[in-house]
Structure 1
Amino acid sequence: MSEGRGPDRSSTADEATPVRVGVLSFHNSKETKAILNAVHALGHEPVWLREENARSWIEDGSLRFDPDVEVVANRLLMTKAAQPLDDLGVATSYAASRPVLNPPAVVVQALHKYGAAATLTAAGIRVPDAYLALTHRAINEGNRLTGEKAVHKSAIGTGGARMSVVGADDAVSPHIARRRAFLQEFVDTGTERPYDVRAYVVDGRVVAGMKRYAPSDEWRTNVAVGGEVEDFTDDLPEEAARLSREAADALDLDYAGVDLLCRDGTWYVLEVNVTAGFKGLFEATGISPAPYIAALAVERGGGSVDPDRVAELAAVLDDSVPACKPSLDPEPEEPGTVGYTERVTVSAGERAVDVVAKSDTGARRTSIDFDVAAEIGAGPIVDTVQVRSGSRTGRQKRPLVEIDVKIGDRWQTATASIEDRTHMAYPVLLGRDLLDRYHVDVRKREREE
């Protein structure tokens, strides 16, 4: 398992001193909350490292963090991040001087399913046959799989999304939803109802295991698509448990969900999931991995825990909102005032531009002109929305992007729609998503040159 550089604790240090454990997570998942609550229940100090509170600086040759922590548990959801490399960079800064569980370099190695399968194969761990090619011609003309069926799957993804079973002669794409894809042998378990096994490994130990059965009209077993779960912790064969431990170790993961299949008495590692969920596992087994992850983090930070207390906490999945969740930027005591038209600064990270915007309390969402979006480098598109235009007939589909808007001396983030506003007087329209924090004075107008 990966070891980082821990805090300097002498042998005479007070062993009861709480360890400040940071959980790096920019989302609100049950798993993140459960780990933080487990750290607190074990008598140590949880710190939720989020976009709202995490900051770092380099000064006079020293690397500093606020809030500071002694160890970090990485729970970044890279498969759903808009800018995964940016998020990994944040994790890398912590890993430079703090022990990090599932450090960024390890996550990169495990995140790509075909790359992870290659690493497992090189380590002598059985995985289903697979084939990767990067062009339409190569993937369809050079397929080396010999079975009648294969699984066409995204190289990066979770929850079984967009996977499909294809025939040996079916034409497939080297991409799924703009991400690279590959073919993996379809492993027929020979059972009437398809199932696989999820074993959750923490620090080289299988803490829980479950069977996942596919719904009646589905071949995928993922809980996200309706798979039913059953406790398999005590009945997990030693070969399957050993493969799970070896897979996590080969990928250097401190904790992971390992998916397995058995065919004709032989077990295979299907996938290894860096940020596997706990909900289905706890539903099936009554065991939460969160206290085991919390305990590992405390120990990596130089502290100690009571194993009996860890086992006791594992019987409950406490995913309530932890007290350590940082608050959003504090609201001003008195709402500010914005005019019918207002000079604002709009940015998407690439550059910032000053424009005159119109306030519209009847619009739910802020919108910006195509040219403004291009000038500030807005993107990627995070979603689309259907809107009814007041000046045009019918409904239109508009892309949505994340932008930052400065009104007065305050920056705010909005998910804005992009539209052609060249026929309108103002390139930016401020909707209620931003205006709800202000009084709108329709008599106040920006002087336009």
Structure 2
Amino acid sequence: MTLAPPEQPLPPAVTVVGIGADGWAGLPDAARTELIDAQVLIGGERQLGLLPASCRGQRVPWPSPLRPAVPGLLAAHAGSRVAVLASGDPMFYGIGRALTEVLGTDALRILPHPSSVSYACARIGWPVEDTEVVTLVGRPAARLAAALHHGRRVLVLSADARTPAAVAGLLREQGFGPSRLRVLEQLGGADEACLEGTADHWPHPPGDPLNVIAVECRRTPEALRLGAVPGLPDTAYEHDGQLTKRHVRAATLGVLAPAPGELLWDIGGGSGSIAIEWMRTHPSCRAITVERDPRRAQRITHNADRLGVPALRVVTGPAPGNLARLPTPDAVFIGGGLTVPGLLDTCWDALPPGGRLVANTVTLESEALLAEAHREHGGELVRLAVAHAVPVGGFTGWRQAMPVTQWSVRKPLTGPEAEHSAHEPAQHPGDNR
């Protein structure tokens, strides 16, 4: 009996070639061969213009907006040998991600070029692993605010020639005017240049749109210091009194336990502090805050911009009526509206197995609801009390803030996850594993 030969894997449908400002001269032989042999060449106008006449394939510029056009454009050239041009490393804030989502990894061959971050760090002597990177390509400049800490080094990927001035303005507004800025243009190309100054005194007009900004963060002595963990000063927020205060906020974020990529529903947003500090824990954390008062909703958006998380989604309107169409959360925080009929049940039902719910209240009526929920679902019911030292005549005494009752609970797991969890070894006090 003759065995059939093993099936050979299909060749990749698309090759993605990273190209730098040095153009054709900076490409290795393997990349050049792919571009010469391609029947269809897809890329930006600038990238396509870097190719010589020996690349005879049909040149197709990306339309705008790019991301929604990817599936249709690839489908239109199915069966052809396609090469896609990308700036630098296609998998570093590049088109590689979108192509992988559409085609899958097996249908792609990716030939990366050094990224602009690698070039920039090489030019100014910064270790890549110690350098934070913030992209403003297609994103608001306010994202940078969350990365600003005294003494840190940050590389900003610019959207265009106006980005350096916008970054300098944001740094001044955030109290980081003394920060040193270096704008590195056309990295790796024949026209490479470096412009330098401080955010307080940025003297340069818009230059080359292909640039990266190196920021050495320096905070003014009077600027408000914002740490990297939950519990920012109350003065970091604009509010009308509807604010989860600093110490309770830190305790609340501790039990909400945000993890990278997770989504929070913040019900009764107030000033947005819980959702904002959830998102500040990691750049991939997401949050939706629901606030019925339009003025407060507007204030939440303003606070989110100032504190570096402009992607916070604010839904203006009452809960639970506005919850039905929201994506499934990993965690829910209820900071207001507990006595609204159906709110607590709606939030509980929306959680997937393993999801967390935390609710805070200062009223007896809402406390009774939390006590009943605790009896039904378990979890932990605690009372948080904070007192501040204040002058009492010529002495000092304690002024007690209203105590906060907090219920926190994890929705039970089901199926194989529950069985696995049941067999996990218990963690004993003092066990630091």
Same fold by TM-score greater than 0.5: no
- Structure number with higher strand proportion: 1
TM-score bucket (shorter structure): under 0.3
TM norm structure 1: 0.24
TM norm structure 2: 0.25
